[in-house]
Structure 1
Amino acid sequence: MSAQAFTLDDLKRILREGAGTDEGVDLDGDILDTEFDALGYESLAMLETGGRIEREFDVTLDDGALIDARTPRALIEVVNTLLVPAGIV
């Protein structure tokens, strides 16, 4: 998939597909600055999420990316720094 940017909607879709959602967690709410642990996504779920992001967006997340990016906003920023702008090879 070629994308201009990795968005919150992309992340929510990948989280739901890979790890589902915890009961009582509203991913459609204001979650940008909520830590993944509070959203019910622990290390195994985040590894699955990272793998899906890598495959779908053709990026490579370094070992610390998923540990350091503790919120959706932080992970989105990391992924977007890795995406090559359209037309630049």
Structure 2
Amino acid sequence: MANSAQARKRARQAVKQRAHNASLRSALRTAVKKVIKAVEAGDKAAAQAAYIANVSVIDSIADKKIIHKNKAARHKSRLSAAVKAMAA
């Protein structure tokens, strides 16, 4: 239990920040799923559009240090490879 006023305030702030980070992490997962769903549907144009739209989401979450920059790069690389591997 927090004993000082400062520690109590930090505990309150941590709860809010954790909720915000969780929502951003959820947005990342949703962005990745949108691209995967488009790839599985077999529509290359839609998959490319989804990929381009969601790269900025992935980058912004990495910039905020919600996920590591290498993890963001790995997601983008795998999604890009999946889109490129689709039949033209």
TM-score after normalising by structure 1: 0.32
TM-score after normalising by structure 2: 0.32
Structure 1 or 2: more helix by fraction: 2
With CA pairs under 8 Å and 6+ residues apart, which has the higher RCO, 1 or 2?
1
Q: Which has the larger radius of gyration?
A: 2
